[in-house]
Amino acid sequence: MSTKNQQQSRAERARRAQSLMREQQRRERSRNLMVVGAVVGALLVIVGVLFYVQSKRDTTGQAAGSVPGNLTGGYSVTVGQASAPTTLKLYEDFLCPICGEFEAATSAQVDAAIAAGKLKVDYHMAGFLDPHSTNAYSSRALNAAAVVLDTSGPEVFLTFHNLLYQHQPAEGGPGPSDDQLIAYAVQAGAQESAVAGPIRDKVYAQWVLNANDQMSKDGVVGTPTVFINGQQQDPTNPAAAAQAVLAAIK
């Protein structure tokens, strides 16, 4: 074979190799996307099952002995001006790691939009992830948030809410103790003398159970669930929901 033919043959082999490599990369990207989609779907199924199982443990039908003040609805609190042009409705659990990621991506901008009168947020908090905590952190955290709301109002509630996500524990272990929750409440602006007893006594324990049941009745089976101006965002894509929130409050 001539030198020219050899060079052409090598060039052709190189082109084929590059083509095969590109095709392999395309297939790998597609495979990765399918794996991510399958994992997210599986997580949603697991969360839904866990929520269903936990809801069956609720003593629903029992009236809550104590109900926090400053609620907007029976189980929600709205932070922000009533005249704000954009409304965000969130269902969250303080132990939910995807909620933590959602908050990390959006909370600074959300707080700024609330302060500017551009946004109001309707928080529907739940506490159904106790099976993933060794000290019932999920329900205790919501009880503590309800205590802060009752004693100090929605703005301090929001600061406390943000602190809990900034210090969110990992699933499967212990969450912050009651003493630490009290310290976060004081850091947020609450009075220790007002919150310490109700946090330790879990004064809103039945209300927390009923809030979980109401979430199920609302047709929400996982967290975070996000609505922008009444439009539910894709529950299988929390990253896209976060981007939609940021776009809505620019």
Question: CATH class for domain 1-250?
Answer: alpha beta
Query: Could you tell me which residues come within 8 angstroms of residue 135 by beta carbon, excluding any fewer than 6 positions away?
Result: 174, 175, 177
Q: Model confidence over 115-125: pLDDT tens digits?
A: 999 999 999 99
Q: Model confidence over 92-113: pLDDT tens digits?
A: 999 999 999 999 999 999 999 9
pLDDT value at residue 62: 72
Q: Model confidence over 186-200: pLDDT tens digits?
A: 999 999 999 999 999
d(CA 246, CA 109): 7
Q: Model confidence over 120-164: pLDDT tens digits?
A: 999 999 999 999 999 999 999 999 999 999 999 999 999 999 999
d(CA 222, CA 47): 6
Handedness of CA 152, 153, 157, 158 (dihedral sign): negative
Handedness of CA 165, 169, 170, 174 (dihedral sign): negative
Helix axes 137-152, 205-217, angle to 10 degrees: 100
Q: Where are the domains of the chain?
A: 1-250
Q: What is the maximum alpha-carbon separation in the chain?
A: 94
Query: Looking at residues 53-78, what average pLDDT do you find?
Result: 76
- Judge whether residue 183 has pLDDT over 70: yes
Q: Is 72 left (phi over 0), alpha (psi -120 to 50) or beta?
A: alpha
